[in-house]
Amino acid sequence: MGGKAVNDQKWERGNVQLSRHFARSTSRLRENALSRKGYDPARLYKWGQMMALAVVRMMEGTEKAFGAKGQVILNTVLVDLGREIGREVLKDYSLVPGAKEIEAISKFVTYVNEEIWASPEIPKILSDSECLCDILWCPHQDHYRPFDCRVQRYIVQGLLEAFQEKTGIVVDARFTQIIPQGAETCRFEVRILPRGTTREWTRYSSDLAQKALQRASQRASYDSSRKER
C-alpha cells in the first residue's frame, strides 16, 4: 500500500485535532501483523464481526434470562466503554480559534464513523447548529437485523457524553434511515442542544430497551410453552 504513512497518535481534519484511540496497540498491529507478507487485513473484519455478533447475542440472552436488571448492567457497560474511548480520542482535542463549534462536532462524528466504526461517510454541515452524514458502508450491514443496531447506541451515548464533558457542547443525534432496513445509506443527523435539555438519542434508546424486554419476555414464554408440550 502506498501513500502517506498514517500517524497513529494524532488525527487532524480541517480545523480540528483529535487523538487516535488504541494508538499503541494499532502500531503493534502494523508491525506484527499487517507488515507480514500474505496477511489479509480482511481477517480483522471477520474477527471483529464475530465479536459484534457476540455482543448482540449476549444482550439478547441476558434480557431473556435476567430481564431489566441484566439489561441495565450491559447497557451501562457499553455506555462506559463509549465514554472511555471518547475521552481517549478527545484527550488532546483542539479547535482552531475562530472556527465554529459545528465544525468540531462534524469532525468528531467523522472520526467516530471512520475510525471507530470503520465506515466511509459523506459529511455535510447544514447550519451553525446542525450537520449530518451519510454512512456509505457499515461493517454490520450484512449481519445485523435492523433491531440489532440498538446495541451500538449505548456506545454512541458514551461518546456524546465524553464530547460534552470535554467541550461543554451538548449534542443530540438521530438516525433517519439505516442500511439494514433497506436504505442506501445510514443517515445520521446531529444538532446542538441547549444546556439542560435531554437528548432524544437517550430517550429513544430507552424506548428500544423496553421493546427489547417485551420481545425477550415473549421468547421466554414461547420457549416455556414448547417445553410443556
Q: Is residue 76 part of a domain?
A: yes
- Residue 189's H or E segment, with its range, is strand 186-192
Q: Is residue 87 part of a domain?
A: yes
Q: Is residue 138 part of a domain?
A: yes
Q: Which regions of the chain are under pLDDT 50?
A: 1
* pLDDT for 196: 86
Tell me: the pLDDT tens digits for 10-55? 999 999 999 999 999 999 999 999 999 999 999 999 999 999 999 9
Instruction: Give the sign of the dihedral formed by CA 3, CA 4, CA 9, CA 13.
Output: negative
Closest by CA position to 173, among listed 47, 58, 82:
82
Q: Is residue 29 part of a domain?
A: yes
Q: Is residue 188 part of a domain?
A: yes
CB-based contacts of 172, cutoff 8 Å, min separation 6: 160, 190, 191, 192, 193, 197, 199, 200, 201
Task: Count the domains in the chain.
Answer: 1
* pLDDT for 150: 95
CA 225 – CA 221 distance, rounded (Å): 6
- Residue 208's H or E segment, with its range, is helix 200-228
Q: CATH number, domain at 160? A: 3.90.1520
Q: Are 119 and 27 in contact (CB under 8 A)?
A: no
Instruction: Give pTM, 2 decimals.
Output: 0.93
CA 24 – CA 7 distance, rounded (Å): 11
